[in-house]
Amino acid sequence: MYELTAIRDDNVVVVDGAALEVDLSFLPAEVWSVHCVYGKPDIYLRDVWQHKSEDPDDLVGQCVSAWQAEQQRLDDERMAAEEAWLNSWERIRQERDQLMLETDWMILPDSPLSDADRDAVKAYRQALRDVPQDFAEPAAVEWPNKPAVVTEHA
C-alpha cells in the first residue's frame, strides 16, 4: 500500500514521501485535494467542510498514474543526460586529465624514477594527450595502456 497526497492547485503529488510536480488538471474543479492512506481514499472538496471517503472515479488511481508517468519521464530524461555525458568529449577530457594528474610527479626532474621509466611515462602521457585526435567519437576511445611503472606506483 502507498500513501498519496495530491493538491490540485499546487500540481503536486506526493507518493510515499516522494513529491513531484504533476499536471492535475484532470481532477474535477471542485476537488481541492486527494489523499489515500492504507488504501482508504479521502477526497477533499473546495468546501472545507466536505470530503468524500469514497472514490468512484478512481481519482487516487489517476493521481498515482500521473505521478508514475512523471517519474518515468524524469528517469528517461536523467538517463538521456547520463548517456550524453558518457558520450561527451568533456567527460573524456576530465578522465584524461585525471590520468595525467596521476603521473605528474613522475616526470619531474627530481622524481626517483630511472630515465627509462620516465621516458615510458612521457610516452604514455603523450598518448593520453593524443586521445581526442586519435578517435572520431568519445564512445570509441580506448585508453592507452599504463606502463608498469605507473601501475606499480598507483
**73-109, pLDDT tens digit by residue?**
999 999 999 999 989 999 999 999 999 999 999 999 8
Contact 77, 88 (CB under 8 A): no
Torsion over CA of 32, 25, 74 and 20, rounded to 10 degrees? -10
Averaged pLDDT for residues 114-140: 93
pLDDT value, residue 113: 92
Per-residue pLDDT band at 51 (split at 50, 70, 90): confident
Distance CA 101, CA 4 (A): 50
pLDDT value, residue 154: 74
pLDDT value, residue 2: 83
List the alpha helices (DSSP H) in the chain: 59-86, 89-103, 115-134, 148-152
